[in-house]
């Protein structure tokens, strides 16, 4: 009788198609700020052009608010939530906050149309709206400082936006029409730079390389980086 122990019986390998397959989904699929910046640029340009007296009259806000509430509000707010998934703190805060503002702007004019809120006549001070802009200015200045570590173009968008909000706050608190017009011009500049930034993100994504610069402050030329300790996650846009 042989003294060798019985050889272990090894399980037969299963067919490849029967073995469980691992799937890794990378986030974000596309840069959320493409939508967010376009939404912001469109709504801000339309409303700011009216503030600067480029067009319109006393009833123009009734026509502008649906566009601002959905294009600048809902679309931008969604972009902010997707930016949250992209681990982009600046974009998440700025898109989320300004998207919420544009939706609130729409609700305000719905209340005006329903006769629940009366807008001060003849360009008089609208203190409640002035305090809206105080809050917006304070947070946007903070976002401008944070963005200065990432992109000079985004810093310019937020810098002009914060300046416009500051001027608009003073204009509404005191009731000075020339300041409202100045705020409109500053907002228009912010909207134009935002349009450029969104276009740059979209074009660079389509070509797979940098075609339009965004003034990146990162050492790595790419804005997209693997998340440390976060398998399947890409950080940034």
- The residues near 227 (Cβ < 8 Å, ≥ 6 apart) are 87, 233, 234, 235
CA distance 150 to 221: 11
- What integer pLDDT is reported at residue 235 of this predicted model? 63
- Whether the model pTM is above 0.95: no
- What integer pLDDT is reported at residue 219 of this predicted model? 53
* Residue 15 included in any domain: no
Q: 55-64: per-residue pLDDT in tens?
A: 988 788 889 9
CA distance 226 to 224: 7
The residue segments making up the domain with residue 115 are 31-215
- What integer pLDDT is reported at residue 122 of this predicted model? 80
- The residues near 155 (Cβ < 8 Å, ≥ 6 apart) are 144, 147, 148, 215
* Residue 166 included in any domain: yes
Q: Are strands 225-226 and 234-235 parallel, antiparallel or unpaired?
A: antiparallel
* Residue 6 included in any domain: no
* Residue 20 included in any domain: no
* Residue 182 included in any domain: yes
Residues of the chain with pLDDT under 50: 1-2, 16, 221-222, 229
Half-sphere exposure of residue 124: CA atoms within 13 angstroms, side-chain side: 6
* Residue 199 included in any domain: yes
Q: Is 133 helix (H, G, I), strand (E, B) or coil?
A: helix
CA distance 181 to 141: 21
- What integer pLDDT is reported at residue 57 of this predicted model? 83
* Residue 222 included in any domain: no
- What integer pLDDT is reported at residue 6 of this predicted model? 53
Domain count, the chain: 1
* Residue 7 included in any domain: no
- What integer pLDDT is reported at residue 221 of this predicted model? 43
- What integer pLDDT is reported at residue 86 of this predicted model? 83
């Amino acid at each position: 009788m042989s003294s060798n122990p019985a050889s272990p019986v090894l399980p037969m390998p299963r067919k490849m198609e029967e073995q469980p397959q691992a799937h890794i989904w990378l986030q974000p699929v596309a840069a959320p700020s493409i939508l967010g910046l376009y939404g912001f640029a469109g709504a801000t340009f339309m409303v700011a052009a009216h503030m600067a007296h480029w067009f319109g009259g006393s009833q123009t806000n009734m026509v502008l608010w649906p566009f601002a509430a959905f294009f600048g509000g809902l679309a931008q707010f969604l972009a902010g939530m997707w930016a949250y998934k992209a681990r982009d703190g600046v974009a998440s805060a700025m898109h989320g906050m300004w998207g919420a503002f544009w939706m609130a702007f729409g609700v305000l004019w719905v209340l005006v149309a329903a006769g629940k809120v009366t807008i001060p006549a003849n360009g008089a001070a609208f203190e409640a709206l002035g305090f809206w802009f105080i809050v917006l200015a304070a947070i946007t200045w903070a976002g401008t400082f944070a963005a200065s570590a990432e992109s000079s173009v985004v810093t310019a968008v937020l810098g002009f936006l914060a300046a416009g909000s500051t001027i608009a706050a003073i204009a509404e608190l005191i009731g000075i029409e020339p300041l409202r017009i100045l705020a409109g011009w500053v907002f228009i500049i912010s909207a134009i730079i935002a349009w450029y930034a969104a276009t740059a993100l979209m074009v660079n994504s389509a070509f797979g390389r940098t075609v339009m610069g965004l003034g990146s402050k990162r050492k790595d030329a790419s804005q997209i980086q693997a998340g440390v300790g976060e398998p399947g996650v890409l950080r940034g846009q």
